[in-house]
Amino acid sequence: MIKNLLLVFLGGGLGSSLRYLISKYLNDSATIPQGTLVVNVLGSFILGLALGWLIKQNMLDHPLYFLLAVGFCGGFTTFSSFSFENFNLIKSGDYISFSVYFLGSIALGIISVFLGILLSRQF
């Protein structure tokens, strides 16, 4: 348990740091957040690669799972997990759950940002 926690911590720190650098570099000169788009798409791709390989090798309990999939991709972007979960819902044919999860996540995320901004103005 402690070993896995340390791997998640290390991967998350690396992912978060890299996300910061990419976003800082690309978002500063763009009208749309290109850095965020890049890390979201890239993080989803890396997660797909990592999970695809780990599943194929039957290694979901391997240290690489905790370092790369949970830690790095989780720190790099939470969009990668969101994309993978939606992929699985589509793959399973559960289009209703996919629609509710996808649209609900987007709407709740935007609403949460809005509510957080409103709340922060109170202090």
Parse the chain into domains and list their residue ranges: 2-77
Q: What is the pTM of this model?
A: 0.75
Closest of 1, 4, 2 to residue 67, by C-alpha:
4
User: Is residue 74 scored above 90 in pLDDT?
Assistant: yes
Q: Which amino acid is at 93?
A: G
Helices (H), 1-123: 2-27, 34-56, 63-64, 73-76, 79-92, 95-120
CB 36 within 8 A of CB 23: yes
- pLDDT for 113: 86
